[in-house]
């Protein structure tokens, strides 16, 4: 990881032509199409883009293009964290560039692993309290149930950087536990701390990685020129250039995904802090 962190220091425009009889002033010999046609006369002569109208009349022709789903890369809508996958960079023959790409891919994959494990542990934590919350295990209700289960056992909650942590004595929790299964309560306490551990990992590591990638993307042209300067032999040069282009696309995707994970995790941390007020309920009374 030491070497890995060393890197942390339109629209299409078309031209209007006058080749069509409508715009060239030639006389039309055919009748104009009825209003229910899928096309209307061009507005290009008025400086407006040509438009296509789809008829609502039964039996009128319809274009398949109107049903084409938008390209995911063009919507700007991030995918859910559960659908994110590890990034694997392509090999570049220039050693310094290749190391840069591989290092950042590893850093990203580590953050993604922490984020997915955080989600899984949170799910397991909530599952423990399904019965007590009548099938709606909201985080705040789950924490309230956890405090209730622990009874008189001492639970010390400390706020650390980007997380909370519960300090407890397993023997004391087992002694005062109000639940018939102290092991399950101990598991809940452990899961709560594990969720926070992964929250901390995401929020501590994701922003520096994203910041480093932003710097790299600003030097994209310069870094690609390094491949040309390397004077690689045969097909190695073109192949490395192609791999470099793909890797920069991957870096941009990584940056977007890191933003999604950071925002999602930050929201979870705020929910955890709010839910943890249940630990101090006795102090307020």
Is position 88 within any domain? yes
User: pLDDT tens digit string along 238-275?
Assistant: 999 999 999 999 999 999 999 999 999 999 999 999 99
Which long-range contacts does 165-169 make (Cβ < 8 Å, 24+ apart)?
A: 165/193, 165/196, 166/192, 166/193, 166/279
Angle 108-109-113 from CA coordinates, rounded to 5°: 120
Q: Mean pLDDT across the stretch 138-166? A: 95
Integer Cα distance of 191 and 177 in angstroms: 17
Residue range(s) defining the domain that contains residue 160: 81-280
Is position 114 within any domain? yes
Least confident range from 48-52, 129-133, 174-178: namely 48-52
Q: What is the domain count for the chain?
A: 1
Name the more confident of 17 and 162: 162
User: pLDDT tens digit string along 25-55?
Assistant: 444 444 444 434 334 333 333 444 444 444 4
Name the more confident of 131 and 283: 131
pTM above 0.85, yes or no: no
Among 238, 212, 209, 241, which residue's Cα sits nearest to residue 224?
Answer: 241
Is position 249 within any domain? yes
Q: Mean pLDDT across the stretch 138-153? A: 95
Q: Count of CB atoms within 10 A of residue 214's CB?
A: 11
Residue 58 has pLDDT above 80, yes or no: no
Percentage of residues in the chain having pLDDT higher than 90? 65
Q: Mean pLDDT across the stretch 135-147? A: 94
Is position 92 within any domain? yes
According to the model, what pLDDT value does residue 207 have?
Answer: 97
282: pLDDT confidence band, cut at 50, 70 and 90?
low
User: pLDDT tens digit string along 203-228?
Assistant: 999 999 999 999 999 999 999 999 98
Is position 260 within any domain? yes
Residue 85 has pLDDT above 50, yes or no: yes
Is position 136 within any domain? yes
Is position 258 within any domain? yes
* Mean pLDDT estimate for the chain: 80
Is position 15 within any domain? no
According to the model, what pLDDT value does residue 283 have?
Answer: 54
Integer Cα distance of 24 and 38 in angstroms: 22
């Amino acid at each position: 990881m030491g070497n890995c962190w060393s890197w942390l220091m339109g629209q299409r425009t078309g031209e209007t032509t006058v080749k069509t009889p409508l715009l060239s002033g030639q006389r039309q010999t055919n009748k104009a199409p009825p209003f229910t046609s899928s096309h209307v006369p061009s507005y290009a002569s008025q400086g407006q883009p040509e438009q296509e109208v789809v008829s609502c009349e039964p039996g009128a022709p319809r274009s398949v293009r109107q049903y084409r789903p938008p390209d995911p890369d063009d919507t700007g809508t991030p995918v859910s964290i559960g659908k994110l996958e590890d990034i694997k960079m392509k090999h570049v023959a220039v050693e310094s560039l290749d190391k840069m790409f591989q290092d950042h891919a590893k850093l990203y994959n580590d953050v993604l692993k922490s984020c997915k494990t955080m989600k899984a542990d949170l799910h397991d934590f909530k599952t423990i309290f399904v019965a007590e919350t009548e099938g709606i295990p909201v985080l705040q209700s789950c924490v309230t149930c956890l405090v209730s289960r622990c009874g008189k056992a001492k639970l010390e909650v400390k706020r650390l950087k980007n997380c909370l942590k519960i300090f407890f004595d397993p023997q004391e929790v087992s002694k005062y536990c109000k639940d018939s299964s102290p092991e399950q309560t101990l598991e809940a306490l452990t899961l709560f701390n594990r969720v926070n551990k992964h929250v901390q990992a995401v929020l501590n590591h994701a922003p520096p990685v994203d910041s480093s990638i932003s710097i790299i993307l600003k030097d994209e042209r310069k870094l690609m020129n390094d491949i040309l300067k390397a004077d690689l032999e045969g097909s190695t040069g073109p192949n490395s250039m192609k791999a470099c282009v793909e890797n920069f696309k991957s870096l941009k995707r990584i940056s977007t995904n890191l933003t999604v994970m950071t925002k999602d995790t930050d929201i979870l941390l705020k929910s955890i802090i709010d839910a943890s007020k249940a630990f101090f309920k006795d102090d307020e009374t």
